[in-house]
């Protein structure tokens, strides 16, 4: 492999593909597609369908995503996980030495709370890496709720569910977007002090939304999230919190 394209594809809606993404998909010789277990097989199918909208009979190399060792400290297990993913990429690519231009489709954008770039840096010899920007879940969330991301002349903090759990509300923050939260960590906050805008499967036919005062809609979101995850076997969601004034 001489050239690796990391292509942001938005939140699963084929309409999220930019013209740049379409051009990169058309140019690639081979597509790396991760498999994450039978319960998430529709994510594999969705990637393949998106590729198929641009290419006829695309060459696809599948690899199985490893499972993180939850017994290790967080940073250690993530680094080990990235090492193993890079090794599996290399194994798949070694079976296709004729593929000079390889593409991997990335949910959202490769630059926002995604580790694909960090994994790509582990490849040796390192190929040329091109990043194609995509629509993020943050953008899809605010579009779905028809709302601006920030208040007038106000900052925005983007964080994770883990940090919200461990550190609480970020000091001095007005608007907080929470990514990668599988535990509904907003339940730890005083609900009467915040408004929430939540969404799952953003931009997809399965999209579900909820918004309002956290104390009022928080329990509803927990129930909706559990029901949707059970129905689909997976869930991708995010939410925005704003301190009430």
Beta strand segments in 90-222, E? 101-106, 128-132, 156-160, 175-179, 194-200, 208-213
- The whole-angstrom separation of Cα 84 and Cα 65 is 9
Residue 129 confidence (pLDDT): 97
State pLDDT tens for residues 181-201.
999 999 999 999 999 999 999
Shared domain for 128 and 151, answered yes or no, is no
Residue 53 confidence (pLDDT): 93
156-160 β-sheet, strand order: 156-160, 175-179, 237-243, 194-200, 208-213
Cβ atoms of residues 29 and 68 within 8 Å: no
Residue 139 confidence (pLDDT): 97
Shared domain for 70 and 180, answered yes or no, is no
- pTM comes to 0.92
For 200, the domain range is 138-243
Residue 117 confidence (pLDDT): 97
Shared domain for 82 and 147, answered yes or no, is no
State pLDDT tens for residues 216-228.
999 999 999 999 9
- Tokens encoding 108: 């959202």
Shared domain for 32 and 120, answered yes or no, is yes
Shared domain for 157 and 88, answered yes or no, is no
Domain finish residue from 91, 106, 135: 135
In total, how many domains does the chain have?
Answer: 2
Shared domain for 219 and 239, answered yes or no, is yes
**Spans of the chain, pLDDT less than 70:** 38-40
Residue 38 confidence (pLDDT): 65
Residue 44 confidence (pLDDT): 87
Domain finish residue from 135, 154, 181: 135
Domain finish residue from 135, 151, 167: 135
- The whole-angstrom separation of Cα 44 and Cα 34 is 7
Residue 245 confidence (pLDDT): 82
Residue 42 confidence (pLDDT): 79
Pairing mode, if any, of strands 101-106 and 60-64? unpaired
């Amino acid at each position: 492999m001489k050239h690796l394209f990391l292509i942001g594809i938005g939140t699963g809606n084929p309409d999220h593909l930019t013209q740049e993404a379409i051009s990169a998909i058309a140019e690639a010789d081979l597509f790396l597609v991760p498999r994450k277990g039978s319960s998430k097989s529709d994510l594999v199918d969705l990637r393949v369908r998106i590729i198929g909208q641009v290419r006829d009979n695309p060459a696809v190399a599948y690899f199985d995503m490893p499972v993180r060792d939850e017994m290790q400290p967080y940073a250690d297990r993530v680094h080990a996980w990235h090492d193993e993913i890079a090794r599996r990429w290399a194994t798949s690519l070694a079976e296709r030495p004729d593929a000079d231009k390889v593409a991997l489709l990335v949910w959202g954008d490769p630059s926002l709370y995604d580790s694909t770039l960090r994994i790509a840096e582990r490849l040796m010899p390192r190929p040329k890496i091109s990043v194609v920007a995509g629509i993020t879940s943050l953008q899809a969330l605010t579009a779905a709720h028809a709302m601006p991301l920030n208040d007038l002349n106000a900052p925005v903090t983007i964080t994770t569910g883990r940090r919200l759990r461990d550190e609480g509300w970020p000091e001095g923050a007005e608007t907080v977007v929470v990514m990668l939260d599988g535990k509904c960590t907003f339940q730890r906050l005083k609900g009467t002090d915040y408004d929430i805008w939540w969404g799952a499967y953003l931009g997809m036919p399965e999209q579900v939304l909820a918004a309002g005062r956290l104390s009022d809609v928080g329990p509803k979101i927990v129930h909706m999230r559990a029901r949707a995850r059970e129905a689909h076997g997976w869930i991708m969601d995010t939410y925005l919190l704003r301190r009430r004034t």
